Amino acid sequence: MLKQLLSGDLPRSRVLSGALLLIFLGLALAPFLTSGARPLNTAATICVYIVLVASYDLLLGYTGIVSFAHTMFFGIGAYGIGLALASGEPSWRAAAGGLLLALALTVVLALIVGLFALRVRAIFYAMITLAVASSFAVLASQLSDLTGGEDGKTFSVPELLSPGFRLIDTEIFGRAIDGKLITYYIVFGGCLVLFLFLLRLVNSPFGRVLQAIRENEFRAEALGYRTMVYRIWANCLAALVAALAGALMALWLRYVGPKTMLGFEVMTDILLIVVIGGMGTMYGAVIGATLFIIAQNYLKALMAEGSSALAGVPFLAEALHPDRWMLWLGVLFVLSIYFFPFGIVGKLRMIRARARGA
Amino acid sequence: MRPDRAAETAQTPSLSTRDLSIRFGGHVAVNQVTADFYPGTLTVIVGPNGAGKTTYFNLMSGQLAATSGSVHLGATDITRLGAARRTALGIGRAFQLTNLFPNLTVAENVRLAVQSRAHLGLNMFSVWFSHTELIERAEHYLERVALAERRATYVAYLSHGDKRKLEVAILLALEPAIMMFDEPTAGMSVDEVPVVLDLIRQVKAERKRTILLVEHKMDVVRQLADRIIVLHNGALVADGNPAEVMASPIVQQAYLGTGAPALEAAAKRHAALDEGARTVVPAQAGTQFSCCNAPKLGSRLRGNDDEGANETVTPFATASQAGMTGSMSAMRDQPTLSQHPPMSEPLLTLSGVHTHIGQYHILQGVDLIVPRGKLAVLLGRNGAGKTTTLRTVMGLWKASRGSVRFDGRDITALPTPDIAQAGIAYVPESMAVFSELTVRENLYLAARSGPLDTARLEWIFGFFPALKKFWNYPAGNLSGGQKQMVAIARAIVEPCKLLLVDEPTKGLAPAIVDNLIAAFRELKATDTTILLVEQNFSFVEKLGDTVCVMDDGRMVHSGSMRALVEDEQLQQRLLGLSLDSHQ
Amino acid sequence: MTVLQPALAPDTVLPAPPRDIAPLLLVPLLMLATLPLVGSFPTWLTLTVAGLAMGMMIFIMASGLTLVFGLMDVLNFGHGAFVSVGAFAATMVLLPMRGWLEADSLALNLGVLGLAVALAMLVTALLGWAFERIIIAPVYGQHLKQILITMGGMIVAEQLISVIWGAEQIALPLPTSLRGAILLGDAAIEKYRLVAVVIGLVVFGAMFLVLNRTKIGLLIRAGVENREMVEALGYRIRRLFVAVFAAGSALAGLGGVLWGLYKETLTASMGGEIMVMIFIVVIIGGLGSVGGCFIGALLMALVANYAGFLAPKVALVSNIILMIAILLWRPAGLFSNARR
């Protein structure tokens, strides 16, 4: 039963299985295990990022396509919901309409970019997606009447999801059963479904072809697979999932803005997570996103303390300043590419395989 | 086996090409080739290096798009279709250079082929291993090539022979109507070859599919071919019954440069010799001579009918002999004639050199000696390892074992630029002229010590007048023969100690070939040693002092050129093409 | 059996292909075409000079990237780091020597600028050398890893800039004698922009001469085609690679200084921000072509300036539209001579 659910892609490592179980339970029960807004926010962000990075892994790890346009689709999904709910009545119908529009735009853009740029060499494609994505970001921040510009837009959500709403009046484990909780479980549930969908996708015959294309495109073509078609499919599917993830993020934050949803920082975050977690594994996205978001939220406080402790020392104090946490992440990133080319998950699986005497 | 002509003409060909051509810049790689292939037959495509065989295959299987002409699958014109579509329509291709999915398992490689055949590629909803019928079929093909035990091994860790078998398994798994094998047994060890050949034989016995095969090994060709097609310089020069094709003088000419005329002349020389004198010399094989006592028997007996190669200096078969420690066993099997110790240490010595390219074990213990001031010729059929030997000397590929000594130094581990600066110039088989640079710039680049020496240039222009004409043209615009001239000129624009030349006559017009001969003679006179790889025997027989023959990565013969020219049986044994095969 | 005569290889030379001049006409055509659209000549002149200046600066920054890719098949996504570092390194000369900068003497101004540029180029060349040895050398031939690792390198470099020079912006005023504009009739042409155009032309001219008239240039052009053969001719081309990489980084540094003065503020992320424009220029020009890069940079900057005046809303995406238009015409860029 579990095997069917996970599409046969088992963790293959006890440590990994343990970690995944822990994360799953943690996220499922987060509202009741923690109190206050911040931990719940972290948990919701983790859910969304897991799906966002997993969809990127579909492109990078499984098909071998380097694309910098992924955040663009994330943003489109977010803005779709956000702008629809911001203009006029925050109703379910508006949300649905906005979402459908966003998904349609996503598919169209993914198709255009795919058809146009997948004919060219991989490096060209990477650079073109970078250019397209950054132009999109510029567009979003400049068309401020529509998009709220640099500051973005806050909006209200349908009543069921609003913080004021109460499903039942009693509290469970100290947590009010309010709109926020409901929103959390929509995000959690949605992300779970999307993740399992991606898992099924990469373990289907289609997913196996993607891996063949990554390994040797020339040979895949000679075997009778029209690689262009497969890559465009991969591109569109990954974009759609990213857009849905964006929609969930917008729903949670009740806010859309270029920095959170379209900025290059998001792209670098995705890249860091997918490399450190492990490319081509899907579970790498889970482990990587969890570690990353937790570190982002809580490690900075640690760094701040370290920085003040070293206040006198010239460069070290600056290096440990919480704003500089990207520095350490960058170093970790470069080191993982050298020493952990398969990421955390890959490493765990290799240890397990060796222990079994394979 | 004679194909049934009547039946053939009645059937429609399953695959055919009409005036198929492709050109790359100035070079026409395949030149208006028209051929038909019928179901139930096995056609072997042969031809010397660079004839365009693999390019022709690529044009049919879709990896390359033709410049003109057409390819037809049955009645359908498939010229504009891509490789994937052609495979789906029934053309299966196995490649010459191993081209698999390295980080996937053996079983997965085959299963992907089966999956493609079943058109399940775009299925996104089911789990892949639920399609047990695909996995079972893949298993079936693995068993046919005897790879079933390796099903879980990652391809990157397979041995070379296993990879070639996997290549065949994948092709079988596609179950195509047309099967194209490109040198399926290349680089395989002797015991692995029969497995693959048996498979091909089995498929052929079914008489259902159209099989095309590119091969060099003549024994394989003779066993399997219903029909032979010969390509030369991109054009079709012969097409028909194996025995007739191989016996045709034109084909012999294409392959070896040996035609009936050349052999007749050799026979005449042979008959003119004193029978008694011929037996004296072999009796002396196996004896040691000190430097001064060695009589030049050969030249007195045979007379000087050829300018140039009138010495009987023969290289020693192994380095130890050069040191005159005398191991006679190596000489016993070779009909080499009087051993005359060279006057000085040989310029280039290879001892026990092994070279691996990835997992291809190409050179399997090569011993080679090039005496100073001589022109040594390296002969052998395609795939014997001649080019690899030159590249190993040049440091472009590193020897995994053994040593290379040049001019008293061990150059085995030196980087290529240092080897070049030590005094070795290289003319590669691919010519490697810089297309974007003009002829002048190509030569200028080779003049390491500064400006071009005008006197030397004039001397070069004497042999290759076309260079003067095209001095300021980008080298990429020149024809193949002219590029060859640029490549050779580039190597000799400054004097060097050793000149390595790989198949210089390919694509050259006969008049230029004569100029080339003159050029090499003059170079020898200026104390340049030359090591020449060639397939064109008639070119080298006039030029070479010593000859070494390679096969399967080893040296199988070395001796004087004169001796080889005289001895037809030796030629047949070593060079593989038999004139008597149709009897 | 059919037996045919072997076809003799024809020994003629194909006529040399017509020189590819179409891309060379693009810039002049663009300039001429927009003159009637703009209407007034002085405005057009101002816009054109602004465009040319910006284009030159971007060309200087991008040229290193395209040359390195063409020669070494290395894609350095961290190229922007050298731009930033160059600009910041220049401040180490410009800020202490404020006096020279503010003096109203062209000689002093140019002198201090020259020193700053020299230092910037030295620092970035060294950084480039270190970058090649440490970050890039291990991943030769693996494009995916190159992209990832050079991006990582850029992130680290940017953060280190903040660590060393502080996280705030640094203001970099223009030298006094280069401020303001010259008046040509009704047209106001900023002096600094003229200087930028001149420097750009000098750099392009120098690169062109080196590549086409010197032996080193010959080696580079030959090495782009066939590294192995160049080694077989006796040249240690690996050393040349590192030298070219360092030179490319130094050029980025020079561009960084010019760009920093142009914007008059420096931020750690300025290099990263300009990477997109650099990439567009390299894509338009064709990977590996310095000439294409030159034309591409001028085109992009001119289009951006003209569009900013004629149709401000379109100007936001003018870069992308230009890139798409060029790629539709020539899918591999204006001049694609990279064999890979």
Span C255-298, pLDDT tens digits: 999 998 888 888 888 888 888 889 889 989 887 788 889 999 99
Distance in Å, alpha carbon of B175 to nearest chain A alpha carbon:
11
Span C223-254, pLDDT tens digits: 877 888 999 999 998 888 889 999 999 999 99
Say how many C-beta atoms besides its own lie within 10 A of residue B454's C-beta.
8
Q: Which residues contact A305 (CB under 8 A, 6 or more apart)?
A: none
By Cβ distance, the residue of A64, A132, A315 closest to C164 is A315
Write down the pLDDT at residue B171. 93
Say how many C-beta atoms besides its own lie within 10 A of residue B132's C-beta.
8
Owner of token pair 């992440």: A329
Helix, strand and coil content of chain A, in percent to the nearest 5, comes to 75, 5, 20
Higher-confidence position of B393 and B266:
B393
Q: Which two tokens stand for residue A5?
A: 């659910």
User: Interior CA angle at B523 toward B519 and B526, to 5°?
Assistant: 145
Distance in Å, alpha carbon of B301 to nearest chain C alpha carbon:
39
- Any B CB within 8 A of C216 CB: no
Q: Which of A168-177, B101-110, B254-263, B526-535 has the lowest mean pLDDT?
A: B254-263
Mutation target to probe the C interface, by most C beta carbons within 10 A, among B23, B33, B429, B441 is: B441
**What's chain A's average pLDDT?**
86
Q: Which two tokens stand for residue A58?
A: 């579909």
Q: Which residues contact B37 (CB under 8 A, 6 or more apart)?
A: B13, B14, B15, B16, B43, B178, B210, B212
Write down the pLDDT at residue A181. 87
* Residue B229, helix vs strand vs coil: strand
C3·B482 Cβ contact <8 A: no
pLDDT (mean) for A153-175: 78
pLDDT (mean) for C142-151: 84
Determine the Cα–Cα distance for residues B113 and C5; give it in Å rounded to an integer.
Answer: 41
List chain B residues with CB under 8 Å of A238.
none
Reported as type and span, the H/E element at residue B253 is: helix B249-256
* Residue B572, helix vs strand vs coil: helix
**Burial class (CB within 10 angstroms; exposed 0-12, middle 13-18, buried 19+) of B573:** middle
Write down the pLDDT at residue B66. 92
A66·C147 Cβ contact <8 A: yes
Write down the pLDDT at residue C230. 93
Please give the backbone phi and psi of residue C303, each rounded to the nearest 5 degrees, phi first: -60, -45
- Any A CB within 8 A of C65 CB: no
Determine the Cα–Cα distance for residues C295 and B156; give it in Å rounded to an integer.
Answer: 45
Instruction: Band the pLDDT of A166: cuts 50, 70, 90.
Output: confident
Angle between helix C290-310 and C318-329 (nearest 10):
130
B115·A206 Cβ contact <8 A: no
List chain B residues with CB under 8 Å of A224.
84, 87-88, 116-117, 121, 174
Is residue A132 a contact partner of residue C319, using CB atoms and an 8 Å limit?
no
pLDDT (mean) for A155-176: 77
A264·C272 Cβ contact <8 A: yes
Minimum CA–CA partner of C18 in chain B: B477
Distance in Å, alpha carbon of A196 to nearest chain B alpha carbon:
12
The pTM for the full model equals: 0.79
By Cβ distance, the residue of B87, B127, B131 closest to A224 is B87
- Tally the C-alpha atoms within 13 A of residue C275's C-alpha that lie toward its C-beta: 27
Write down the pLDDT at residue C337. 57
Mutation target to probe the B interface, by most B beta carbons within 10 A, among A5, A63, A223 is: A223
Instruction: Identify which of A223, A218, A227 has the alpha carbon closest to the alpha carbon of residue B176.
Output: A223
Q: Which of A85-94, C3-12, C237-246 has the lowest mean pLDDT?
A: C3-12
C221·B436 Cβ contact <8 A: yes
Distance in Å, alpha carbon of B93 to nearest chain A alpha carbon:
7
Instruction: Identify which of C250, A222, A177 has the alpha carbon closest to the alpha carbon of residue B63.
Output: A222
By Cβ distance, the residue of A8, A220, A233 closest to B127 is A8
Angle between helix C237-263 and C106-131 (nearest 10):
140
Span A304-329, pLDDT tens digits: 877 777 777 777 777 777 777 888 88
CA dihedral B451, B453, B457, B459 (to 10 degrees): -170
Q: Which two tokens stand for residue B405?
A: 């000594």
Distance in Å, alpha carbon of C105 to nearest chain A alpha carbon:
37
Minimum CA–CA partner of B170 in chain A: A223
Q: What is the DSSP letter of B209?
A: S
Reported as type and span, the H/E element at residue B45 is: strand B42-46
pLDDT over 70 for what percent of chain B? 78
Minimum CA–CA partner of A6 in chain B: B127
Q: Which two tokens stand for residue A258?
A: 């270029």
Is residue A286 a contact partner of residue A199, using CB atoms and an 8 Å limit?
no
Instruction: Band the pLDDT of B255: cuts 50, 70, 90.
Output: low
List chain B residues with CB under 8 Å of A226.
82, 84-85
Instruction: Band the pLDDT of B212: cuts 50, 70, 90.
Output: very high
Reported as type and span, the H/E element at residue C190 is: strand C187-190
Is residue B219 a contact partner of residue B185, using CB atoms and an 8 Å limit?
no
Instruction: Band the pLDDT of A86: cuts 50, 70, 90.
Output: confident
- Any B CB within 8 A of C336 CB: no
Helical segments of C132-236, H only: 143-165, 191-213, 215-225, 227-232
By Cβ distance, the residue of A4, A211, A223 closest to B113 is A223
pLDDT for B329 beyond 60: no
Mutation target to probe the C interface, by most C beta carbons within 10 A, among B30, B33, B411, B436 is: B436
By Cβ distance, the residue of A135, A324, A337 closest to C162 is A324
Describe the strand order of the beta sheet including B348-357 as a list of residue ranges: B360-370, B348-357, B399-406, B409-410
Instruction: Band the pLDDT of B313: cuts 50, 70, 90.
Output: very low
Minimum CA–CA partner of C12 in chain B: B479
